[in-house]
Amino acid sequence: MALTITNTNALTLLNILNKNIAAQSKSLTQLTTGKRINSGKDDPAGLIALTSLNTELTAIKASIDANQRTDAILTVADDAIGEISTLLAEINSLVTQSTSEANLTASEIAANQSQVDDALAAIDRIVSTTSFNGKKLLDGSFAIQHSGFAGNGELENLRIFSRSQSTADTVLTITRVASAQTASATFAFAGGGAATSGTTQVVITGSLGAATITLTSGLTQAQIVTTINAAKDQTGVSAIQEATNVRLNSSTFGSDAFVSIEVLSGGVINVNSGSATSDGSTANDILSIAKQSGIDANITVNGQTAGTDGLDVSYSANGLSLEFTLESDFGRGAVATTSTTFTVLASGGATFQLGTTSRTRATIGLDSLSTFRLGGGNGTARLSELKSGGAVDLTSDVAGALDAVREAIAEVAGARGRLGGFQKFQVGSAINTLQSQQTGLTAAASVIGDTDFAVATANLNRETVLVQTSIALLGVANQQASMILSLL
């Protein structure tokens, strides 16, 4: 190379020095911030991927926070419903005790009634005061809205547990394919209303329990009916007089209702003269009858077979889940109408965000659990009617009270179970899934965007050596000018 005053070696070394200093600065920045990508020029493609991952991570974190808050809300509701269940169990115990009128005095029954009143008041207080962040949870504020049900005449006691996220209302057509029936058994072919019984002792058993009934000699059909009905609070079985026999029926409908008869002694039906029937047929006598069960209604909703329990109907499809009760005449086919309709509106309920998109929302219904709303299913009374002076208080109709409180217990258990199912399988699984996604996405974002300190430290050491070497060699190159002066 020629010896000139244009020192190309110095210029070359200066360019190299600048590059080494820039590389050293980049390594220092990465080590200081902990980020591999600190500007778009560091890794354009990586920056695009990292931005997308961070956006998704932000949405996931927000969803986790929302689901944890949802879990807290549902826990508050669950605890309150659990306390209501405890109170209902106490009421059930008091009512059951009161069914044995022979064992209790009037003052003891009155004391039981007083405790029932207190428990019912406590339930209403819990319902009216249970709230989260100022919003009532159990008073029906979060009930899913509907129309065409009130005053329907064929249906009652509607409870909507969830609905789809569709913005369109859902019209439901309820069709009775087959009627519900009570359990039924023929007590005796009495040979006509003038016949009477011989001395007979039987055990009649129904869904409420069993009672031993003694029929003294000479009782007519009407007197047999009265004697059996006197024990219906214990058995859940009532008697009616028919043209030629006495028939026993369960107080409720469906396959869970039953009637059985066990003859302990006697059983002979006499003609009006008082002598035993002489036709040689035992068909005229009171006979033991094995357990006879009722029949659940056969119902379709929009053409789909619904689940039934006596007169209670449950339906679930396309995100919509609900229960209702058939009005007694409609459910047992005592009216000509075989179908009816009502509409579930696309409004109301408690809507929760489970995931990161609008498609992962879910709406559940939290109906009122007040005493005037509980009960009423399968032909039973409302729970509020157990209060003093009510239609089924302990002095008016203790059997009806027992049916009502057990129906209320089943309703509350169902509501709590559905709430718990949503909390466990929807909210809980959403939190677990989102946390797993958060872990995976964080790892992926770290690979792309975080500094590898081992690599960055090694690079910094290398670049520091190169900068120092470049500076030293630049000094050597700058001596070229002095070499020209020595020639002159």
Residue range 291-303, pLDDT digits in tens: 999 999 999 999 9
The answer to whether position 244 is within a domain reads yes
Distance of alpha carbon 338 from alpha carbon 461, whole angstroms? 88
Task: Report how far residue 372's alpha carbon sits from residue 384's, in angstroms, rounded to the nearest whole number.
Answer: 5
Please indicate, yes or no, if residue 210 is contained in any of the structural domains.
yes
What pLDDT, on the 0 to 100 scale, is given for residue 273?
Answer: 39
Report yes or no on 366 lying in a domain.
no
Give 176 or 460, the one with higher predicted confidence.
Answer: 176
In a domain, 107, yes or no: no
Work out whether strand 289-293 and strand 258-265 pair parallel, antiparallel, or are unpaired. antiparallel
Mean per-residue pLDDT for 336-364?
91
Taking only the tens place, the pLDDT of each residue in 453-470 is: 888 888 888 888 888 888
Total domains present in the chain: 1
Q: What is the average pLDDT value for the chain, to the nearest integer? A: 87
Residues 205/260, Cβ–Cβ less than 8 Å: yes
To the nearest whole percent, how much of the chain has pLDDT over 90?
A: 50
Is 346's pLDDT higher than 70?
Answer: yes
Say if 250 falls within a structural domain.
Answer: yes
Residue 96 maps to a domain: no
Question: pLDDT per residue over 364-415, tens digit each?
Answer: 999 999 999 998 877 788 999 999 999 999 988 888 898 899 989 998 998 9
Whether 361 maps to a domain, the answer reads no
3-state secondary structure of 354: coil
Sign, CA dihedral 350-351-352-354, equals positive
Query: Which range of residues forms the domain containing residue 196?
Result: 182-293
Whether 237 and 209 have beta carbons less than 8 Å apart is answered as no
